[in-house]
């Protein structure tokens, strides 16, 4: 048998190869970024531009279910399957959603209505590295608001040294225009789900029979069957409000003025939510301001002032920027 010469072999291979060989462009295939401190998991959805998942535990189930005789309950997974599964107490997703809004230069918007700059979204870098290098559990969600002359960057993280289920949500607003912004308002909307039932961490916890109230100035307490969420504002927030006030339309429809006050506080109802407002002085061109909230959970449905006091002690008068930099340094 005659052997192929090297030249003939090369010629044959050239017929099999494509005319142009290039690397395929990398495409983002996952839009949910997680942060955890070992007590909770908090999930940011980049496509919806919201925080939409906040667990009362890291694990998916708390304990087995027991019958009246003290025996563990097992149920057949499908009639006649012969496969039995243990029944368990499911963990909860405590949050419908949370996100920021902003008003500047005569216009306003909720950031959940604006696209995220996907190429710059991800995890912050730790101290000594560039932001886009990653390496921390601090989720970064930037958005360009050309009509307002602003760049808004939301950051979300479950702090390492907050030894309970909780997370911090901050917003940095940068003036990308050529002149001062004039007065700016920033808003944070937080909508916990604290009702009855345990549909499991992949499903929304019901939002029935929730009580919400303003607590200590510009902070909020929401209670329900599932427990208590304390929403502590940072950076000198101006006011806090909650259901039944309808505070979504004023920002969405660009109606000037403060967020509407609640008609009653405390308020008992279904699907309650709360919001915080900051009034910010002019932001000079190229400058920025940062504000934020701490959202913390306690499983005791009866409000315990100790829970609020623990969070206030952890904050210890710090700004959102200081808390953020402390978390970054911890990595």
CATH number where 219 lies: 2.70.98.10
Indicate whether 277 belongs to any domain. Answer: yes
How distant, in Å, are the alpha carbons of 98, 218, 219, 310, 313 from that of 306? 25, 18, 15, 6, 10
Q: Residue 248: which pLDDT band, with cuts at 50, 70 and 90? A: very high
Indicate whether 183 belongs to any domain. Answer: yes
80-84, 200-204, 323-327: the lowest-pLDDT one:
200-204
Indicate whether 14 belongs to any domain. Answer: no
Indicate whether 58 belongs to any domain. Answer: no
Indicate whether 119 belongs to any domain. Answer: yes
- Indicate the pairing of strand 239-242 with strand 274-280: antiparallel
How distant, in Å, are the alpha carbons of 194, 249, 287 from that of 264? 20, 19, 39
Indicate whether 253 belongs to any domain. Answer: yes
Residue 131, SS3? helix
- Residue 105 — left, alpha, or beta (φ > 0 → left; ψ -120 to 50 → alpha)? left
Indicate whether 244 belongs to any domain. Answer: yes
What is the residue-averaged pLDDT of the chain?
Answer: 90
What is the span of the domain harbouring residue 278?
A: 95-330
Indicate whether 5 belongs to any domain. Answer: no
Domains in the chain, number: 1
User: What are the beta bridge partners of residue 84?
Assistant: 76
pTM of the predicted model as reported, rounded to 2 decimal places: 0.87
The whole-number pLDDT of residue 199 equals 80
For residue range 291-315, what is the model confidence (pLDDT) as tens digits?
999 999 999 988 888 999 999 999 9
């Amino acid at each position: 048998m005659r052997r192929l010469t090297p030249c003939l072999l090369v010629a044959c291979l050239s017929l099999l190869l494509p005319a142009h060989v290039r690397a395929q462009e990398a495409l983002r295939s996952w839009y949910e970024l997680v942060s955890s401190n070992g007590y909770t998991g908090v999930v940011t959805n980049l496509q919806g531009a919201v925080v939409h998942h906040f667990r009362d535990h890291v694990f998916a189930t708390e304990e087995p279910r027991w019958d009246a005789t003290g025996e563990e309950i097992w149920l057949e997974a499908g009639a006649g399957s012969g496969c039995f599964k243990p029944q368990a107490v499911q963990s909860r997703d405590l949050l419908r959603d949370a996100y920021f809004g902003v008003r500047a230069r005569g216009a306003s918007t909720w950031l959940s209505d604006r696209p995220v700059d996907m190429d710059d979204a991800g995890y912050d870098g730790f101290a000594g590295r560039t932001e886009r290098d990653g390496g921390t559990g601090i989720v970064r969600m930037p958005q360009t608001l050309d009509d307002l002359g602003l760049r808004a960057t939301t950051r979300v993280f479950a702090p390492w040294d907050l030894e309970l289920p909780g997370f911090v949500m901050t917003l940095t607003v940068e003036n990308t225009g050529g002149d001062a912004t004039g007065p700016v308002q920033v808003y944070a909307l937080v909508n916990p789900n604290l009702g009855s039932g345990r549909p499991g961490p992949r499903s929304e916890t019901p939002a029935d029979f929730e009580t919400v109230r303003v607590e200590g100035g510009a902070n909020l307490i929401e209670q329900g069957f599932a427990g208590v969420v304390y929403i502590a504002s940072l950076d000198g927030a101006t006011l806090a409000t909650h259901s039944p006030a309808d505070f979504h339309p004023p920002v969405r429809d660009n109606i000037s003025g403060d967020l509407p006050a609640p008609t009653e506080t405390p308020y008992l109802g279904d699907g309650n939510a709360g919001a915080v407002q900051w009034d910010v002085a002019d932001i000079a061109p190229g400058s920025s301001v940062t504000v934020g909230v701490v959202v913390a959970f306690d499983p005791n449905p009866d409000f315990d002032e100790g829970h609020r006091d623990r969070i206030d002690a952890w904050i210890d008068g710090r700004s959102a920027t200081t808390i953020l930099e402390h978390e970054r340094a911890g990595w």
